[in-house]
Chain A
Amino acid sequence: MKKLRVLLAAVVVLGLGLGQMAMAQGDDEAKPDNIAVAYSEDGRYFTEDDIPTYNVAEDGTIDWPSYSGFRRYHSECHVCHGPEGEGSSYAPALKKSAIDMDYYDFIDVVTNGRKRVDAADNSVMPALGDNPNVMCYINDIYVYLKARGTDAIPRGRPGKKEPKSDVIREDENACLG
């Protein structure tokens, strides 16, 4: 039953294509839907489990946080991870990580970093926990990358976007200090 509801939500809310539907069907039953919008609040969108997610309206308008994530990603992450979450010769494709990883694990790696250093690998993710340019926008970056991972937002600069809500503006100012 839950699966059906998820599928319906995906089709109705996001207008996802057949590819995404097939993917959703193939998912492990136990894995919660990490994409579909359950509700929105002050211009931000969330899943049933209160995990931030993106929203693309029927006319292609994207939510403000995803747009903000596009900008912040290409300022803070792009120089290692390549354009549009595609990955590089240096660092992995984050559009995949945002889909494959649990939200809390994703936040944990960004905050505290991660090391893979051995004979074959010299891969180190820095701890960005005290970087306001990243942490004040971490949910924005996360939802943008999820949208890239599902191809809900194509490569390149997003087109139409929702306006920045007053609450988002206030939160941003409070966070940056």
Chain B
Amino acid sequence: MKKLTLLTSGIALCVASIAVANDDLVSQMDNSKQWAIQTGDYKNQRYSALDQINAENVGDLQVAWTFSTGVLRGHEGSPLVIGDTMYVHTPFPNIVYALDLANEGRIIWKYEPKQDPDVIPVMCCDTVNRGVAYAEGKIFLHQADTKVVALDAKTGDVVWEAQNGDASIGETNTATVLPVKDKVIVGISGGEFGVRGSVTAYDMNSGEQVWRAYSMGPDSDILMDPEKTTHLGKPVGADSGTNTWEGDQWMIGGGTTWGWYSADLEENLMYYGTGNPSTWNPGQRPGDNRWSMTIMARDIDTGMAKWVYQMTPHDEWDYDGINEMILTEQEIDGQARKLLTHFDRNGLGYTMDRVTGELLVAEKFDPTVNWTTGVDMDPASETYGRPAVVAQYSTEQNGEDVNSTGICPAALGSKDQQPAAYSPKTELMYVPTNHVCMDYEPFRVSYTAGQPYVGATLAMYPAPDSHGGMGNFIAWDNTKGEIKWSIPEQFSVWSGPLATAGDVVFYGTLEGYLKAVNAETGEELYKFKTPSGIIGNVMTYEHGGKQYIGILSGVGGWAGIGLAAGLTNPNDGLGAVGGYAALSDYTALGGQLTVFALPN
């Protein structure tokens, strides 16, 4: 009977590709009692069909058990649950624990890689790691030093290792990996070190490299076909990865790939975004800097790009485009579409046709966003798809050594990597956001391999003339580009929410609260303060007939760095110290998993 339900749901979604897909992981993800992939599923919906915990009873939630990870740093990502085993990862040194859920969480095995600690300081913004992945009896760990390791899920023994990058030139990793079909697809960090971003596919069984696609460079490096790869419906043309750069600047061009990846097996495409161009001083790198700040759709088997869309040509604010691409099937104007929705650091929520790359919606998901008046949506226009930049907030137009003030959002974006969730029941996206603005002064810097390559001074502060907080948790209608409701938060919301069939949405806060809200209204139904600030993502699983909610605590990341001491408002003038809440007044370093359930 269970098999039948799986099949019927499978038919609707991807019957054509089931035979060639990674059957094991697909069936593991289809079993909603498990949490088999960091993103919930290939669509990155972060939605669970479990409904034992629902809007009626979530107020009774209790802590069921806890686990200390033994590491005091920013804890991003979440545990996985496959069968009776939970897999918990940590920030550097990237320990992996396998816990036996059938035996009160006893540790089955522990894997601790040996990594040169010299990688720590080249990880801009904390030593976070967004978790392990599972497929075909293996656990995949992508370490800080860019070594990709496949572990035997039963024993923790190393099956294969592959070195993806070189930490001595600033190449590091914070992201999880995408296991899809017979490949493991991985990204790279280091945009602040002049790293040239790439995604690389490794053979799932041998660890051999299959393909690598750079974000910029010659066509053979970026795996684009000048005629067949399209940008907003038009061929990208020859040399698109070099002809918007001056000289050989593309070689240290940035466009790193540290976000969450999604996949559509039916289209045989994987989706991701590329980060900021190096440096943060736009005057030093004239041109559109393609393909930084770009949504990419690539063939899973060959890496060839089918379509691309550059959201922020010639970045002037560090608005990395790496945030997740959420895949949905919805109607727009009465027509059923296969959609891709992306909440960019630049403050715009994009809805696209994920088959063709057509841009359907581009609207601000925070009303304070002011660097642009909006995106040109007229396909006949010369500037189709480009954001109209407001001169006052253009750090390029204002020039080097000039402090551009009052730019919204700040460099950390209206939303950073913390992934949003989608409920097919409400057809709403639940989005953790930052409500922070900045002053930005670019200046000249020189490049040294393995050294920071930034070139701007930033001051950040809560969005002026608003509620005074630094974050919002919003519900977003991605077909219309409208905010349905918005919950003000004192700090940026740096936690990936979970939406469930129980009509509840869970998310964590930087103070350390796990919160549950009504999926329709946003009404708060439950909260509990965990031992440290939350920058991890909420997950759920069922074991022994009981539904559990799991969340990692452990403040850190960009949030821990930028907000620990609180922010100042330059408009308040001198001496207005402590005008805004300091995160260090609410929470301290930690590293703990907290698991919740309803009372017996």
Q: Which residues of A contact B (CB under 8 A)?
A: 60, 70-72, 74-76, 78-84, 86-91, 93, 113, 115, 117, 120, 122-126, 128, 130-134, 154-157, 159, 176-177
Which B residues, 407 to 450, have Cβ-Cβ distances below 8 Å to chain A? 439, 441, 443-446, 448
Whether the pair B565, A76 counts as a contact (CB closer than 8 A) is no
Scoring B residues 441 to 484 as 1 if CB is less than 8 Å from chain A, else 0, what string do you get?
10111101001111111111000000000000000000000000
Chain B residue with Cβ nearest A72: B457
Contact B117 A75, beta carbon cutoff 8 Å: no
Given contacts A90-B560, A124-B118, contact A79 B124 (CB under 8 A): yes
Given the interface pairs A117-B117, A132-B446, A156-B570, the reply to whether A122 lies near B457 with Cβ below 8 Å is no
- A-side contacts of B358, CB under 8 Å: none
On whether the beta carbons of A89 and B122 are closer than 8 Å, the reply is: no
- Is the CB–CB distance between A74 and B459 below 8 Å? yes
The answer to whether A130 and B459 touch across the interface, beta carbons within 8 angstroms, is no
Please give, as numbers and ranges, the residues of chain A lying within 8 Å of B452 by CB-CB distance: 75-76, 79, 131, 133
A155 CA to B576 CA in the complex, in Å? 8
Check B457 against A83 for contact (C-beta < 8 Å).
no
A83 partner, pick from B71, B448, B460, beta carbons under 8 A:
B460
Closest partner residue, chain A, to B461 (CB atom): A156
> Which residues of B, 70-125, contact A by the 8 Å Cβ criterion?
71-74, 92-93, 117-118, 120-122, 124-125
Confirm or deny: B500 has a beta carbon within 8 angstroms of a beta carbon on chain A: no
Contact B120 A82 (CB under 8 A): no
Expressed in whole angstroms, the Cα–Cα distance for A128 and B569 within the complex equals 31
**C-alpha spacing A91/B570, complex, angstroms:** 24
Bound together, the chains give a CA A75 to CA B122 distance in angstroms of: 14
Q: Which residue of A lies closest to B92 (CB)?
A: A122
Is B489 interfacial (CB-CB < 8 Å)?
no
B71 proximity list for chain A (CB < 8 A): 122
B560 touches A88 (CB 8 A): yes
A75 to B, closest residue via Cβ: B454
B564 touches A87 (CB 8 A): yes
Q: State whether B120 touches A124 (Cβ < 8 A).
A: yes
| B392 shortest CB reach to chain A, Å | 18
Among the listed A87, A125, A154, which residue makes an inter-chain contact with B575, where contact means beta carbons less than 8 Å apart?
A154
Closest residue of chain A to B460 (Cβ to Cβ) is A83
Question: How long is the Cα–Cα vector from A18 to B388 in the complex, in angstroms?
Answer: 52
Q: Is the CB of B457 within 8 A of A75?
A: yes
Q: Does B216 contact A (CB under 8 A)?
A: no
- In the bound assembly, the distance between CA atoms of A162 and B452 in angstroms comes to 28
With A90-B73, A133-B454, A156-B574 known, 15 other A-B pairs at CB within 8 A are A75-B445, A75-B457, A79-B124, A81-B561, A84-B568, A89-B74, A90-B561, A115-B117, A122-B71, A126-B121, A126-B122, A130-B451, A131-B448, A131-B451, A157-B403
Query: Whole-angstrom distance from the CB of A154 to the nearest CB of chain B?
Result: 5
Given A74-B459, A75-B457, A83-B567, verify A89-B121 contact (CB < 8 Å).
Answer: no
* A122-B127 in contact given A133-B446, A156-B570, A156-B574 (Cβ < 8 Å): yes
Task: A126 to B123: give the CA distance in the assembly, Å.
Answer: 11
Using known A-B contacts A88-B564, A89-B555, determine if residue A122 contacts B73 with beta carbons closer than 8 Å.
Answer: yes
Size category of the binding interface on chain B:
35 or more
What's the least CB distance linking B280 to chain A, in Å?
8
Evaluate contact between B570 and A157: CB separation under 8 angstroms: yes
Interface centre among A72, A75, A120, A122 (most CB of B within 10 A): A75
Interface digits, B289-308 against A, CB 8 Å rule (1 contact, 0 not)? 00000000000000000000
Closest to A159 in B: B574
12 A-B interface contacts by CB (under 8 A):
A71-B443, A80-B124, A82-B564, A83-B565, A89-B73, A113-B121, A128-B451, A133-B454, A133-B455, A156-B459, A157-B403, A157-B570
Q: Which residues of chain A have C-beta atoms less than 8 A from B118's C-beta?
A: 124, 126
Chain B positions within 8 Å of A154 at CB level: 574-575, 577
Q: Which residue of the partner chain B has the closest CB to A70?
A: B457
Residues of A within 8 A of B565 (CB): 82-84, 86-88, 93
Chain B residues close to A by CB (< 8 Å):
71-74, 92-93, 117-118, 120-122, 124-127, 192, 280, 403, 439, 441, 443-446, 448, 451-460, 533, 555-556, 560-562, 564-565, 567-570, 574-577, 583-584, 589
CB-CB nearest in chain A for B71: A122
What separation, in Å, do the CA atoms of A36 and B455 have in the docked complex?
31
- The residue in chain A whose Cβ has the minimal distance to the Cβ of B554 is A89
Report yes or no: B459 in contact with A157, Cβ–Cβ below 8 A: yes
Q: Give every chain A residue within 8 A of B589 (Cβ-Cβ).
A: 89
**What residues of chain A lie closer than 8 Å to B574, measured between beta carbons?**
60, 154, 156, 159
Q: How far is the CB of B282 from chain A (nearest CB, A)?
A: 14
Alpha-carbon distance between A139 and B574 when the two chains are bound, in angstroms = 24
Min CB distance A23 to B, Å, is 18
Q: Which chain B residues lie closer than 8 Å to A79 at the CB level?
A: 124-125, 192, 452, 454, 561
In the assembled complex, which residues on chain A have CB atoms less than 8 Å from the CB atom of B446? 132-133, 176-177
Closest to B578 in A: A155
Chain A residue at minimal CB-CB distance from B555 = A89
Q: Which residue of B lies closest to A77 (CB)?
A: B452
Is the Cβ of A155 less than 8 Å from the Cβ of B568?
A: yes
CA distance in complex: A157, B124 (Å): 23
The residues of B that contact A134 with a CB separation of less than 8 Å are: 451
Chain A residues whose CB sits within 8 angstroms of the CB of B127 once the complex forms: 90, 122
Q: Which of A74, A76, A89 contacts B458 (CB 8 A)?
A: A74
Chain B contacts for A132, CB-based, 8 A: 446, 448
Give CA–CA (A159, B574) in the complex, Å: 8
User: Given A132-B446, A154-B575, A156-B459, A71 and B564 touching (CB < 8 A)?
Assistant: no
Chain B residue nearest to A86 in the complex (CB): B565
* Bound CA span A131–B460, Å: 26
Top 9 closest A-B pairs, CB basis? A89-B560, A86-B565, A126-B121, A74-B457, A124-B120, A88-B561, A131-B451, A88-B564, A71-B457
Nearest chain A CB to B21's CB is how many angstroms away? 39
Chain A residue with minimal CB distance to B127? A122
| Contact yes or no, A133 B564, CB < 8 A | no
- Give B143 Cβ to nearest chain A Cβ, in Å: 13
A75 & B564 in contact (Cβ 8 Å cutoff): no
Residues of B within 8 A of A126 (CB): 118, 121-122
Q: Are B451 and A155 in contact (CB under 8 A)?
A: no
Whether the Cβ atoms of A120 and B72 lie closer than 8 Å is: yes
- Nearest Cβ in chain A — how far from B511, in angstroms? 13
Query: In the complex the two chains form, what is the Cα distance from A157 to B451 in whole Å?
Result: 25
Q: B439: which A residues are within 8 A, CB to CB?
A: 157
Cα distance A90–B576 in the bound complex, in angstroms: 25
Interchain CB contact under 8 A, B117 and A71 = no
Cβ of A124 and Cβ of B117 under 8 Å apart? yes
